[in-house]
């Protein structure tokens, strides 16, 4: 599961960054917040994946 979590986490971070930037361009605060949350969740998921690979 480690590598899958890492990959999924990185993908969520990218999606989050896109939502954050698009929200900023559109002036959509809700979309920006959603993007920031996605990035944070992605970072956590990636860290969990890295930690589970080390076991």
Using the Cα atoms of residue 28, residue 30, residue 33 and residue 39 in order, give the sign of their dihedral.
Answer: negative
Compute the CA torsion angle 51, 5, 43, 32 (nearest 10 deg). -170
Q: What is the CA radius of gyration of the chain?
A: 13
pLDDT at 55: 60
Q: How confident is the model at residue 53 (pLDDT cuts 50, 70, 90)?
A: confident
45 has a pLDDT exceeding 70: yes
pLDDT at 26: 98
For 4-37, write each residue's pLDDT tens digit. Answer: 999 999 999 999 999 999 999 999 999 999 999 9
pLDDT at 13: 98
Record the tokens describing residue 44, joined without a space: 């956590």
């Amino acid at each position: 599961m480690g590598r899958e979590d890492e990959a999924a986490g990185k993908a969520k971070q990218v999606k989050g960054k896109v939502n954050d930037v698009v929200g900023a361009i559109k002036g959509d605060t809700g979309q920006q917040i959603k993007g920031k949350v996605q990035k944070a969740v992605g970072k956590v998921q990636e860290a969990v994946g890295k930690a589970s690979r080390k076991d």
